[in-house]
Amino acid sequence: MDVTRDSSQRPDSWPPALPGLVPSGAGPLNRAVTNAIARPLIKSGPVLAEDELESGPAARPAADTPPPVTAVTPAAPTTPAAPTTSAAPTTPAAPAARRPPRTDPALRERHARALPGWIAVSALLLALVGGVLVLARAGVIPHFEALPDVRSAAVRESGTVELSARVVAAASAAALAAFLVLGGLLVNAGGETRVLTRWGRYRGTVRRTGLVWVNPTLRRRRVDVRLRHWRSEPADVVDRTGTPIVVRLLIVWRVKDTARALFGLAAHEDYLREQVQAVLTRTASTLPCDSNAVPGPALRDGQWFADELTRALAAEVAAAGLEVYSVQPLALDYAPEVSESMRRRRLADLDAGLRTILVDDAVEAAALAVRRLERATAHELDEAARSSLMEHLLVAFVAPAGITAAVPSPAVRAGRREGRPA
């Protein structure tokens, strides 16, 4: 038996010793130190990378937030002690993205209490008739022989005006009722709304058209909710290549939420103009204006530019209670300082493309002529003779057009036939 090996049984509650820290037969103090090192109560959090620090406050913990504390349960008598919780794996935070502005969710349009106009007119007529009857009964209004006599018996006998407290109160009530009815009447034309407020507090929106009656103590503000179009001024922006361009837009929009449009911001029309400029600048910088030199999508191609402008602008102005139906570019041109140079560049690109087409057609015609010559003579030419003959034929074909070009190599010609770039 090897007497140098320690065959004594260690206690079950003693965790596995770290190599080089706990010697054989360690005392209670050494065991406690080993347990504290092996299972620390406080663990340090992960170190954030530089990209995570720059990604915004959402991607990193607050400066005053303490590191996570891991709870440790007492060791069981038969199994080694182990932490009950483990640190959750950290997921990389997404980079912070700009979001459209938000407003108070409680600020939304709601219907105001309004009565039809015929009810208010009926109440006004009743108040006027009642006041006239009270005054006529008291003798304030003179009696006409053609009209029935509604005066009281005392007034008819004495022939004087009887102004009692009851008469004054009834006449005052009728006048006050007529004044309130007249003060609450309003005519709401089609395509317009009235926003009602009281001491600065929003009380509702009247969308009923025609003659309506509302509380006369409320302040009324007219808001146009009709479909409107706005032709923007020429806006100077740059495309993806950094070339300055001038764009004019036609925006079709309307006010959808009158409460947000009136109270959510100072002036919704000015806000719309500024957002149009911002969205146009951001969208125009994603693609080049033209794709003559480099194949690919461009701002002039198809409906993408208009659809992207409509989507982006609608998302930006939705918080202000505005609804955008369409944004259409009316003009898309280069800026005056670069328009002449870009025109010359476009003509040069077209000329280069035309030359390429002519040379390719001449090469194909020369190759076809050589093949027919070999078939007619029943003699196959070697590579040098074939290239020399094709070069002479190519010069003969393209010389009248004023184009000088060398004969492409066989590999280049094969690549062109297969669609590979030269």
- The confidence score (pLDDT) of residue 153 equals 67
Query: Same domain, yes or no, for 119 and 215?
Result: yes
For residue 415, report the phi and psi dihedrals to the nearest 5 degrees: -65, -35
Q: Which of 31-45, 132-146, 349-363 has the lowest mean pLDDT?
A: 31-45
Pair (218, 242) in one structural domain: no
Q: Which of 290, 334, 333, 257 is nearest to 103 (CA)?
A: 257
Q: Does 43 or 286 have the greater pLDDT score?
A: 286
Cα–Cα distance, 146 to 151 (Å, whole number): 14
Whether 119 and 220 share a structural domain = yes
199, 224, 249 - which closes a domain: 224
Please tell me which residue, 156 or 263, carries the higher pLDDT value.
263
Q: Is 320 exposed, middle or buried (0-12, 13-18, 19+ CB in 10 A)?
A: buried
If asked whether residues 205 and 147 sit together in one domain, one would say yes
Q: What is the pLDDT of residue 78?
A: 45
Q: So what's the pLDDT on residue 298?
A: 86
Residue 176 has pLDDT above 80, yes or no: yes
Look at residue 251 and tell me whether its pLDDT is greater than 90: yes
Within this chain, do residues 261 and 289 fall inside the same structural domain, yes or no?
Answer: yes
Residue 274 corresponds to which tokens in the numbers above?
């500024």
Please tell me the distance from the alpha carbon of residue 210 to that of residue 195, in angstroms, as a whole number. Answer: 15
pLDDT band at residue 31 under the 50/70/90 scheme: low
Lowest mean pLDDT among 111-115, 331-335, 391-395: 391-395
pTM over 0.85: no
Task: Give the count of beta carbons closer than 10 Å to the beta carbon of residue 241.
Answer: 12
Kindly state whether residue 108 falls inside one of the protein's structural domains: no
Above 50 in pLDDT, residue 250? yes
Output the domain CATH number for residue 276.
3.30.479.30
- CA separation for the pair 124, 134 (Å, rounded): 15
Final residue in a domain of this structure, among 11, 26, 42: 42
Whether residues 160 and 206 share a domain: the answer is: yes
pLDDT confidence bin for 339, thresholds 50/70/90: confident
Residues 254 and 318 in one domain: yes
For 289, 290, 299, 300, the CA distances from 296, given in Å and listed in that order, are 11, 9, 10, 11
Structural domain contains residue 181: yes
Q: Is the pLDDT of residue 46 over 70?
A: no
What does the pLDDT read at residue 168?
Answer: 80
Give the domain range for residue 388.
350-418
Same domain, 212 and 134: yes
pLDDT digits (tens, 9 = 90+) for 269-300: 999 999 999 999 999 999 888 876 667 788 88
Q: What Rg, from alpha-carbon coordinates, does the chain have?
A: 45
Q: Residue 174 falls within a domain, yes or no? A: yes
* pLDDT greater than 60 at residue 378: yes
Q: In Å, how far are 68, 173, 350, 392 from 361, measured between CA atoms?
A: 74, 100, 17, 15
Q: For 139-246, where are the alpha helices, taking DSSP H only? A: 153-158, 165-184
The H or E element that residue 123 is part of is: helix 117-138
- 157 has pLDDT over 90: no
DSSP 378: T
Lowest model confidence (mean pLDDT) among 39-53, 329-343, 398-412 = 39-53
199 shares a domain with 248 = no
Answer whether residue 310 is part of any domain.
yes
| Residue 248 in this model has a pLDDT that exceeds 90 | yes
How many beta carbons lie within 10 A of that of residue 249, not counting itself?
24
Residues of the chain with pLDDT > 90, as a percent, come to 23
Which two three-digit tokens encode residue 106? 């409680």
Last residue of a domain, one of 286, 303, 334: 334
Do both 215 and 121 map to the same domain?
yes
- How far, in Å, CA of 216 to CA of 222, rounded? 15
Number of domains forming the structure of the chain: 4
Whether residue 190 lies inside any domain: the answer is yes
% of residues, the chain, pLDDT over 70 = 63
The answer to whether residue 93 sits within a structural domain is no
Residues 175, 242 share a domain: no
Burial class (CB in 10 A: 0-12, 13-18, 19+), 181: buried
Enumerate residues 6+ apart whose C-beta is below 8 A from 138: 151, 152, 155, 161, 162, 163, 164, 167
- The arithmetic mean of pLDDT across residues 220-239, rounded, is 92
Residue 155 above 70 pLDDT? Answer: no
100 belongs to a structural domain: no
User: 137 with 151: CB under 8 angstroms?
Assistant: yes
Task: Specify the higher pLDDT residue, 228 or 398.
Answer: 228
Q: How far is CA 200 from CA 186, 203, 261, 309, in A?
A: 20, 9, 15, 36
Domain membership flag for residue 61 = no
Partnered with residue 115 across adjacent β-strands are: 213
Does 123 share its domain with 219? yes
